[in-house]
Structure 1
Amino acid sequence: MPLPTALLDDLAAVFGDRLSTAQAVREHHGKDESHFPPCPPEAVVFALTTQEVSQAVKACARYATPVIAFGTGTSLEGHIAALKGGVCIDVSGMNAVLEVRPEDLDVTVQPGVTRKQVNEYLRDSGLFFPIDPGADASLGGMAATRASGTNAVRYGTMRDNVLSLEVVLPDGRVIRTARRARKSSAGYDLTRLFVGSEGTLGIITELTLRLHGIPEAVSAATCPFPSVEAAVQTVILTIQSGIPVARIEFMDEVMVDAVNRYSKTSHRVAPTLFFEFHGSQASVREQAERVEAIATEFGAQGFQWATGAEERTRLWAARHNAYYAGIALKPGCRAWTTDACVPISRLAECLLETKADLEKSSLTSAIVGHVGDGNFHVMLLVDPGRPEEIAEAEAVNHRIVRRALAMDGTCTGEHGVGHGKMEFLEEEFGEALDIMRRVKSAIDPQGIMNPGKIVG
């Protein structure tokens, strides 16, 4: 449905040539990294300040027009699709690091700042922001989807590292969800209400984040295993032993082969764990020795160490490029990337059943995961022009999610719900889903904030 002319006039008065209805711009803002087809908005505005975001939302509210926030477009469950049309507010230009407070170990940033940008800015301060979902996502988008990633096993997720937010509500009001204190017992926890709300309750325009000291020593290692079960049992015992590993990443043999081809690495083609250890020189050495002893018990075929910074960077760059490496296995195909998370004690069972399921499928598939916290992803490669492959991928995805739910897990450990995982929420939450809908209705009575996501 075309936007009201009066709304376009109101937006043009605020944004001038930073309002676009060009088809190419709209299509870019209607497509993320998911397998879903593009669903563009009717118009895009490029905001530079909180006030501009507020003015845009107020204008849309006057005409009951949907509003979708956009950061970098790296989401994986159709979060930015304009399912009901409307106006996309691109906040990528709000990319300033506003204030670093080393003595308080926190930083305040605008939502368009990316994780790489903030860590580059912090490089000489001795501090870093640890949440690393792989993609160079915007911090506003990472908060909105409650992102986590490779460091979550030690440093937690966005939920644990956001101290306060500035948010534009559906009526255009601007609120601050908390102060900078490290803890508070004052009122409802609004910060965590908006962290993970995926733009359905408001648009994040400023974030205050926890920082951590750059560790004195860092070492990394890769270790191939004779089987998926052996690798996962190593993870489980490592976590249960209380070893404070910073990262534990898993790749099955298909993904290792894909990464070798794409990143020109030479890892043994076998189920493989990637480790990283943070701390003092002595503690890093102790952690590594304990993990190596556990891995040896389960038949590991030898650690390969990456101690230099350049070597570690190359190692993790290869891991972060796993998505593109997987796609390269079948040029012309799209990746249907799943996401499930289970209690660590059920991880081996869940992964083994999933691996057996995949071996029966005709689709090319690979597994990668942040297994230190029970989270894993399956990449299913599908030809968009073959409906039977899309149907098969959907069926496999359903089985993966329902398997996780049956093990008291969740339908999504970090990708979020978007519109791709909505059908599973009732199974996961039961009557609690009704409470979510009531919260949505109370804050956004017109239903204009990213409609068609999470609860509808």
Structure 2
Amino acid sequence: MELAKFLRDVEELIGKDNVIKRENELSMYRRDWWSILMLKEVLGHSLDSPPAVIRPGSINDVINVVKLANKYGICLVPYGGGSSVVGGAYHNGCVVIDMSRLNKILDFSEEDLTIIVEAGARVIDVERWLNERGYTLDYHPQSFQLLTIGGAIAHGGTGSHSMSNIDELVLSLDVVLPNGELVTIGPRVFIRTAWPDLRGLFIGSDGALGIIVRAMLKVRPLANYYVDLAYVFNDIEKAVRFARDLVINVPGPHRVVIHDRESSRLMVGEDGVIALIRIRWYNEDFVNIMSSVTNKLAIKYGATSVESGLVKRWRDVFARGYKSQLLMLAQSGLWVDTIDMATTWSRLVKLHNELVSRLGSIDGVYHVLSRITHLYLNGASLYSVIVFRQDEDLYWKIWREAFNVANGIGATISHHHDTGLLKRDFVKVEMGNQWGLLRSIKGLLDGNNIMNRGKLVW
């Protein structure tokens, strides 16, 4: 009854055409890209659609909808491109707020190198708009075709290198809090101020603390010069030592991917531990210097230089349609999921070896394809693709074992895929006492528990 009253009032505010209630239209919102939900469909289980979908056309619409949700006790789930792979945008029985109509580029400053966009703007559209003017976000995640600006921020996404993590790009963001209040978070300048920086409270928050509606982001001019390099190392240990020295000696961003043997074989079609590197900058001489330093470091650790065309081959594989890959696996009775971890340099090899060994020993797991992706001064991300038999129980067994490995070594179970429904119990353990503090903040901001209920903190 309360839902019907809520939807009636929303229709009066934003029009009946922007409130979706018919089942045939709701079905496209029944899930995001969480692997277990798609596996359920493949195995013949039906997924419920959300009770309704609301499509606000302005920030004021969002404010008013949130206020009505509080009045009637209706839970809301913000929805951008639906590309979350952890159930972060799954409706979970709540009304979906489709942000796609809030997609405008509001301001662009060439002098300050900033752009202000609405949260529903797709990353690919913003990037194309900037490229036409000689600029870039330099933010290219695998979900590039689907991802929205608001979704990237809410789920703490990364691009293709460590300096393209979304928290590196966000100068400020506008958030509609769970009580309907619109607040600007962040100093709107290029450095932090003397007062506490609250951006981190909302970046990676899963939309559990409010709805992101607008953001000011950093941009940079397009770099014209690049060199591709590819090396084969004898083992993962030498490749990791090379990566650590690279971060120390060569200024970022570091566009580096290091595939272990299994990943190299199946992802790139080559044998060995392969490091694929693109060095890109504005000055050709500087690119050449960085390439020379990189090459000397690779030789130091016994690497052999191989055909640089492997870099382009990998970039093509990385950008290939995820949907078509899943379909091919599904037809062969297999399934896949990705596990994003990160740890310090001293623990990285152990994390890799234990993860590959322990997941690979599970009956029904056929491949563990691991690669080192984002390099930082103190460590790196380990990203693994797991190919396994189509079995829901096996899916959860894989994830529990992966968390046990990460937790035992001192790694994080979520480098950039956020928390969602998939990782919420793991993240609670990993956060320790911090989780209780976050729970207190959630209770303070969202006393009626209407925002993305059940995700991140509950």
TM-score when scaled to structure 2? 0.88
- Secondary structure of residue in 1 paired with 2:450: coil
Asked whether the 8 Å contact 1:249–1:273 carries over to 2, the reply is: yes
Match of 1:144 in 2: 154
One-letter identity of the residue aligned with 1:138:
T
Q: 1:244 to 1:159 in 2, by over 3 A?
A: closer
Q: 1:21 to 1:449 in 2, by over 3 A?
A: same
Cα distance in 2 for residues equivalent to 1:250 and 1:444: 42
Residue by residue over 1:368-409, the C-alpha shift from the partner in whole angstroms, topping out at 9 and shown as x without a partner, is 44142411222223444x3xxx33343332333333333332
% identical aligned pairs: 22
One-letter identity of the residue aligned with 2:437:
I
Match of 1:235 in 2: 243
Instruction: Work out whether 1:42 is the aligned partner of 2:42.
Output: no
Residue by residue over 1:232-257, the C-alpha shift from the partner in whole angstroms, topping out at 9 and shown as x without a partner, is 33222322434535311133344444
* Superposition pairs of residues 70-89 of structure 1, within 5 angstroms: 70-83=79-92, 85-89=93-97
Deviation, 1:343, is 1.3
Cα distance in 2 for residues equivalent to 1:423 and 1:145: 17
Out of 40-49 and 211-220, give the one that drifted further: 211-220
Match of 2:17 in 1: 17
Match of 1:263 in 2: none
Asked whether the 8 Å contact 1:58–1:171 carries over to 2, the reply is: yes
Match of 2:42 in 1: none
Match of 2:394 in 1: 392
Match of 1:125 in 2: 133
- Secondary structure of residue in 1 paired with 2:100: coil
* Superposition pairs of residues 230-269 of structure 1, within 5 angstroms: 230-259=238-267, 267-269=269-271
2:365 to 363, 366, 372: 363
One-letter identity of the residue aligned with 1:19:
V
Pairs aligned (count): 438
Residue by residue over 1:207-255, the C-alpha shift from the partner in whole angstroms, topping out at 9 and shown as x without a partner, is 1001123224122233333433343332223224345353111333444
Root mean square deviation of aligned Cα: 2.5
Q: 1:156 to 1:407 in 2, by over 3 A?
A: farther
Asked whether the 8 Å contact 1:230–1:298 carries over to 2, the reply is: yes
Match of 2:172 in 1: 164
Match of 1:26 in 2: 26
Match of 1:264 in 2: none
Deviation, 1:80, is 1.4
Cα distance in 2 for residues equivalent to 1:197 and 1:77: 13
Cα distance in 1 for residues equivalent to 2:320 and 2:271: 17
* Superposition pairs of residues 269-348 of structure 1, within 5 angstroms: 269-279=271-281, 280-305=283-308, 315-321=314-320, 327=326, 328-329=328-329, 331=331, 332-348=333-349
Residue by residue over 1:341-390, the C-alpha shift from the partner in whole angstroms, topping out at 9 and shown as x without a partner, is 11133212211222222432331232244142411222223444x3xxx3
* Superposition pairs of residues 148-227 of structure 1, within 5 angstroms: 148-152=158-162, 155-185=163-193, 187-227=195-235
Cα distance in 2 for residues equivalent to 1:73 and 1:106: 26
Q: 1:426 to 1:88 in 2, by over 3 A?
A: closer
TM-score when scaled to structure 1? 0.88
One-letter identity of the residue aligned with 1:412:
S
Structure 1 unaligned segments of length 5 or more: list them.
Answer: 261-266
One-letter identity of the residue aligned with 2:439:
R
Cα distance in 1 for residues equivalent to 2:449 and 2:73: 8
Deviation, 1:45, is 1.3
Match of 1:407 in 2: 409
Cα distance in 1 for residues equivalent to 2:424 and 2:141: 22
Q: 1:216 to 1:326 in 2, by over 3 A?
A: same
- Secondary structure of residue in 2 paired with 1:338: strand
Q: 1:313 to 1:380 in 2, by over 3 A?
A: closer
Cα distance in 2 for residues equivalent to 1:109 and 1:39: 33
Asked whether the 8 Å contact 2:102–2:121 carries over to 1, the reply is: yes
Asked whether the 8 Å contact 1:228–1:352 carries over to 2, the reply is: no
Cα distance in 1 for residues equivalent to 2:70 and 2:123: 31
Residue by residue over 1:26-65, the C-alpha shift from the partner in whole angstroms, topping out at 9 and shown as x without a partner, is 3322312212325532100122211111222122111111
One-letter identity of the residue aligned with 2:78:
A
Cα distance in 2 for residues equivalent to 1:330 and 1:290: 44
Cα distance in 1 for residues equivalent to 2:64 and 2:97: 11
Deviation, 1:179, is 4.3
Out of 315-324 and 352-361, give the one that drifted further: 315-324
Asked whether the 8 Å contact 2:236–2:260 carries over to 1, the reply is: yes
